[in-house]
C-alpha cells in the first residue's frame, strides 16, 4: 500500500470540506488600532483581494510593529456591474484585518495596463497624479506593489503606475519598496517571510469576504498550498542553491529594494529569510 495515499487524500478532503465554510460574515478578532501618527505602509492593490493574497508581511507589520497599513484600491476590477459589490466586499475584508482602505476613485482607475502607458499618455498621466498624491499624503515608510513580470496586465500596469508616481516625487523622498508576486513568479526575490497558522487563517477569513470572486473561483482554499510552495521555492531562491529548508509551513516571497535620490537601490544582496519568531520590522533597518 502506498503510504502517501492517505497523505494526499487528506489534502483532497480538506479542499472539499472547505467549500462549505462561510464566505464572509465571520466575527473579526479583537485588535488594537495603530496610532494615528504611526508609520504607514501603503499597499497598492491592482484588484480587490490582492491585499489579502499578498498581505502576509503587511499583516505582521501591523500586528507586531503597530504600523498603519493603508490599502489603496487601484482598480475595482474590469466588470463594471460588479464594482459596487466588490467595493463593499473590499471594505469588509480590510475592516476584518484592520487595514485602512482608500480608493483611487469611486469606481477605481480604468485601463491600468502597459498598453495604456504606451499609447494614452493623457489618461496615464492623470492616473499617475492620483498615486503620486497618495505618496505625498502618507509619505509611507514602505510600499507594497506587484513586480513588473506579474503576468496579469493590471498587475504589470500597477507596477509601472507606482514607479512613475515615485519618479514624480522630490529627490528627498525615500521609502522601502516591497514587490509582490501572484500571477507570475519573480525571477529574483530576496525576501522570504514566514506566516503563522493564525495569520494565514486570518488572511483566508478576510479573503472569504470577497464572496463574489470566491464563488466564481474558490482560490482562497488553495492559498495555503501556494504559501507552502513559496517555502520550497524561497529557500533556494533567497537562501541560495542547496540551502536547507527552514522549518516553515507557510511563507510569502518578495523583492525588497529602496527608493532613494530618485531611483531604485538594491538591498539585502544575500537575501533574508524571516521566521514568525523574528521582528519583521528588522527587515527595513539600514543594516539589512
Residue with cell 480608493: 103
Whether residue 25 lies inside any domain: the answer is: no
Residue 198: inside a domain, yes or no? yes
pLDDT in tens, 248-271: 999 999 999 999 999 999 997 789
**What per-residue confidence (pLDDT) applies to 31?**
75
Identify the weakest region by mean pLDDT among 25-39, 92-106, 134-148, 151-165: 25-39
In total, the chain counts a number of residues equal to 288
State the cell numbers at 108: 477605481
- Taking the alpha carbons at both ends of the chain, their separation in whole angstroms is 49
114 located within any domain: yes
The grid cell for 18 is 472547505
Does the residue 24 lie in any domain? no
Examine the pLDDT at 287 and tell me if it is beyond 80.
no
Domain count, the chain: 1
Residues 156-195: pLDDT tens digits?
999 999 999 999 999 999 999 999 999 999 999 999 999 9
What are the cell numbers at 102?
Answer: 482608500
Task: Give the residue ranges of DSSP H helices in the chain.
Answer: 4-18, 50-53, 56-65, 83-97, 114-119, 121-138, 153-167, 197-208, 211-216, 223-237
- Residue environment code for 10-41, b if the CB has 16+ CB neighbours within 10 A, otherwise e: eeeeeeeeeeeeebbebeeeeeeebeeeebbb
pLDDT attached to residue 285: 72
Which residues have C-beta within 8 Å of that of residue 245, sequence separation ≥ 6? Answer: 231, 232, 235
Which domain covers residue 110, as residue numbers? Answer: 35-283
CB of 29 within 8 A of CB of 202? yes
With respect to residue 29, please indicate whether it lies within any of the assigned structural domains: no
Yes or no: say if 63 and 92 are a contact pair by the CB < 8 Å rule: no
CATH number of the domain enclosing 222? 3.40.50.10320
**Residue 107 counted as domain residue:** yes
Residue 97 has a pLDDT of: 96
Amino acid at each position: 500500500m502506498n503510504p502517501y495515499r492517505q497523505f494526499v487524500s487528506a489534502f483532497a478532503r480538506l479542499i472539499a470540506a472547505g467549500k462549505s465554510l462561510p464566505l464572509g460574515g465571520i466575527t473579526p478578532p479583537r485588535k488594537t488600532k495603530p496610532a494615528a501618527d504611526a508609520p504607514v505602509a501603503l499597499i497598492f492593490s491592482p484588484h480587490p483581494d490582492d491585499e489579502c493574497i499578498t498581505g502576509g508581511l503587511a499583516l505582521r507589520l501591523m500586528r507586531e510593529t503597530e504600523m498603519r497599513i493603508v490599502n489603496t484600491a487601484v482598480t475595482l476590477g474590469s466588470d463594471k456591474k460588479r464594482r459596487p459589490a466588490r467595493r463593499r466586499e473590499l471594505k469588509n475584508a480590510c475592516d476584518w484585518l484592520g487595514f485602512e482602505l482608500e480608493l483611487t476613485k469611486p469606481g477605481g482607475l480604468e485601463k491600468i495596463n502597459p498598453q495604456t502607458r504606451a499609447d494614452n499618455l493623457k489618461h496615464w498621466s492623470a492616473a499617475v497624479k492620483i498615486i503620486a498624491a497618495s505618496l505625498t499624503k502618507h509619505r509611507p515608510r514602505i510600499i507594497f506593489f506587484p513586480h513588473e513580470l506579474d503576468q496579469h496586465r493590471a498587475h504589470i500596469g500597477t507596477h509601472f503606475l507606482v514607479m512613475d508616481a515615485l519618479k514624480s516625487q522630490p529627490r528627498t523622498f525615500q521609502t522601502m519598496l516591497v514587490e509582490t508576486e501572484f500571477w507570475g513568479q519573480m525571477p529574483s526575490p530576496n525576501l522570504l517571510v514566514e506566516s503563522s497558522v493564525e495569520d494565514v487563517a486570518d488572511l483566508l477569513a478576510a479573503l472569504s469576504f470577497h464572496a463574489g470572486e470566491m464563488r466564481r473561483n474558490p482560490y482562497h482554499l488553495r492559498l495555503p498550498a501556494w504559501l507552502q510552495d513559496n517555502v520550497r521555492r524561497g529557500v533556494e531562491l533567497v537562501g541560495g542553491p542547496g540551502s536547507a529548508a527552514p522549518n516553515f509551513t507557510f511563507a510569502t516571497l518578495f523583492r525588497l529594494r529602496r527608493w532613494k535620490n530618485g531611483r531604485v537601490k538594491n538591498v539585502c544582496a544575500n537575501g533574508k529569510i524571516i521566521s514568525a519568531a523574528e521582528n519583521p520590522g528588522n527587515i527595513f533597518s539600514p543594516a539589512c
